[in-house]
Structure 1
C-alpha cells in the first residue's frame, strides 16, 4: 500500500499492462448509500472504467459496483456514471490531457481513506502490441532469475 492509503477495495491490474502510466492523481468519488455499502464489501470492478471531463466536471464511467444484497427497490444502477471530486485546476489539467491523441485517464485502484472512498487515477498513453510483448519478455526474464536465485539458495 502507498503512503496514506487505507483498505484497497479494487485494483485495475490490466491498466499497467495496457498503458504507460505517467502521473497519478487521487480523487474522491460521489457514491449513493447502497453503493458505498457494496464497495465496502469489495464488490467493485475497474477493468473497463475510464474518466471523461464534461461541463467542467470529471465523471467516471463503466465502473461496476454490484447491487447491495440487502438493498431494496432504491438500489443503485451498477454501471452508472459517477462524479469525481477534484479541484478545478486538476480538472482543467485532466481536460487538457484528454485532448491529446493516445492519452487516457484510467482508474488504477479504489480504496477507503479515513472512511471516504477514493480513486487513484492514472494519466497515461496506450501501449502498442510490441510494447506489451516487451513487457511480457521482461516479466518472464525476471521470473526466471528469481527462480534461479531461489534454487541456488536451497543448496
Structure 2
C-alpha cells in the first residue's frame, strides 16, 4: 500500500482462460452503497466482461453484493456499470475487439487514492492445449523451487 493502492478483488480465472496482451486502467461509475460494499470486499469478477455500446464502455456480469445498511438505496447487484476512459481509448479498444477477435476482461478492482479503479485486459482466448501447457510450466517451476529449497 506504499503507492496508495489496495487490491479489493481479482479475476484469477481470466489469466487461466485468456492470454492478456495489454492492460488498461479505468474508473468506474458507482452508487454510494456500491462503493461501501466494494470497500468491504463484497464483489465478484468471475464471469464478467466489458463491451462497448454507443461509444461508452460497460462492465457486465460483475456482481456487487447489496450493502446491508443500504435499505432503499441499494442497486441491482448485476446491473451494467459504466467505465470511465478517454473516448479515443474506447474507440481503439472497440476496433481491436471487432476486427481482431480480442475480448475485454476485467482483471482486478482496487482502490487508488480512495477512488475505485478497475484493471481491464485486452485478451485473446486460450485453447485447451495452451491451458495444459501453462499448468505443466507452473508445476515444473514449483518442483524446481521445491528442490532448491531442500538444498539450502
Q: TM-score, normalised by structure 2?
A: 0.96
Moved beyond 4 Å, runs of 4+: none
Q: Distance in 2 between matches of 1:114 and 1:88?
A: 23
Structural RMSD (CA) = 1.4
Gaps of 5+ in 2: none
Work out whether 1:25 is the aligned partner of 2:24: yes
Q: TM-score, normalised by structure 1?
A: 0.94
| Larger CA deviation: 123-132 vs 98-107 | 98-107
Change over 3 Å in CA distance of 1:18–1:46 after alignment to 2: same
Gaps of 5+ in 1: none
SS in 2 for 1:100: helix
Change over 3 Å in CA distance of 1:86–1:102 after alignment to 2: same
SS in 1 for 2:144: helix
Cα deviations by residue, 1:22-48 (Å, 9 ceiling, x for unpaired)? 101000000001100000000111111
SS in 2 for 1:117: strand
- Does the 8 Å CA contact 1:5/1:111 hold for their aligned counterparts? no
Work out whether 1:67 is the aligned partner of 2:66: yes
Shift of 1:102: 3.6
